[in-house]
Amino acid sequence: MKNKIDFFCIGAQKAATSWLYKRLDELPDFSMPYIKELHFFDRAIKYPSPNKWSRSLITRLLDFDLLSNSIHELASSLYRFNFKKTRWMLKWHFSNINDDWYLSLFKNLNQITGDITPAYSILEVNDIKKMYKLSPDAKIVFIIRNPIDRSLSHLKFFHQTRGKSINELSIDEIKLFLNSKNQTLRSDYLRTLNNYSKVFSPANILVGFYDAIVDNPHAFLNDVVVFLGANQNQISYLNINDKINVSKKDIIDSEILDFVTKKYTTEIRKLSKIFGGYCSKWESKLDNKKQNTKRYNSITLDRIKLRK
């Protein structure tokens, strides 16, 4: 029985990875896990992404909120008589965390399957090597978004999910969030690509662009499906324009916009030189120049020369 991982989508955060998970899960060539983000390789406490898998099974069971959530998810699958999902959820919530457990999450997922966890973009090389050891033939998908837009979208969504508007925050609080290690790492696309290209073959690393999803979601999905070896003729138009986890359109203070623009200007100019295309559009926006309307395809790393 198949329990290998065919691909990892490593982000970026707030770059339509939930949309990609939903679209792939609709296709007959794919069997996706019941949970989108498995957070196995970023579970170490050294990473600035909260992760329950760094805790033992006992401490997780003693956490009332975690236990309540686990029981709720189990009850939901039982209510729908989805016993396959119930067994998977039992394993997901009530197991010791190790390599065998992680691989078992893909057992009986007999079509193309993968782990879509945006936090994997911040992994250090030694943890990427652990990923490679478990699945050396896996392909990597990395969707990048203008880092200015990405960080502001995460700022809004992070506080939105906690019942707050960014208008309730002080300028200093917002700057502290945007300048955090977590935010900086998640927008350091060149660090991510350099780290992964040290471990995985550049030909097996696909860089896609959030802008392409906005321009033509069907064409973008076609890029990914072909890269992963599936039949692009199965792509459905039914839900292709669905939007998932959309941030509120709060007005951004000009001081904050200036702050985040200065933070990422150098990064954007580097990306523009390496990738051109949409990244050059980001640079044109910085310089208040007219942007062309051309759509650009995703690209594998063997076709470009990375520079830090």
How do strand 7-9 and strand 139-144 relate by DSSP bridges? parallel
- Do residues 157 and 247 touch, judged by C-beta distance below 8 A? yes
Q: What is the pLDDT of residue 248?
A: 62
> What element of type H or E holds 65?
helix 64-79
For 61, phi and psi rounded to 5 degrees? -70, -25
What DSSP designation does 247 have?
A: P
Name the one residue in this structure whose structure tokens are 């927008």. 187
Closest to 140 (Cα-Cα) out of 306, 298, 279: 298
How do strand 299-300 and strand 114-116 relate by DSSP bridges? unpaired
Joined together, the tokens standing for residue 307 give 């520079």
Q: Does domain 7-35+113-303 have CATH number 3.40.50.300?
A: yes
Please calculate the CA angle 61-49-6 and round it to the nearest 5 degrees.
Answer: 90
- How far is 209 from 214, CA to CA, in rounded Å? 9
Question: What does the pLDDT profile of the chain (308 residues) look like in tens digits?
Answer: 466 899 999 999 999 999 999 999 999 999 999 999 999 999 998 998 767 888 999 999 998 888 888 898 888 888 777 888 999 999 999 999 999 999 999 999 999 999 999 999 999 999 999 999 999 999 999 999 999 999 999 998 887 766 677 777 889 999 999 999 999 999 999 999 999 999 999 999 999 999 999 999 999 999 999 999 999 999 987 788 887 766 666 778 899 999 999 999 999 999 999 999 999 999 999 999 887 778 899 999 999 988 65
Q: What is the pLDDT of residue 135?
A: 97
- Do residues 20 and 99 touch, judged by C-beta distance below 8 A? no
Joined together, the tokens standing for residue 114 give 């993968």
How do strand 139-144 and strand 299-300 relate by DSSP bridges? unpaired
Please calculate the CA angle 149-154-157 and round it to the nearest 5 degrees.
Answer: 125
Q: Dmax of the chain from CA atoms?
A: 58
Domain chopping of the chain, boundaries: 7-35+113-303
Closest to 279 (Cα-Cα) out of 269, 265, 289, 287: 269
Please give the order of strands across the beta sheet that includes 114-116: 114-116, 7-9, 139-144, 205-209, 299-300
Q: What is the pLDDT of residue 163?
A: 66
How do strand 114-116 and strand 139-144 relate by DSSP bridges? unpaired
Please calculate the CA angle 114-147-257 and round it to the nearest 5 degrees.
Answer: 145
Closest to 55 (Cα-Cα) out of 41, 45, 64, 46: 45
For 173, phi and psi rounded to 5 degrees? -65, -40
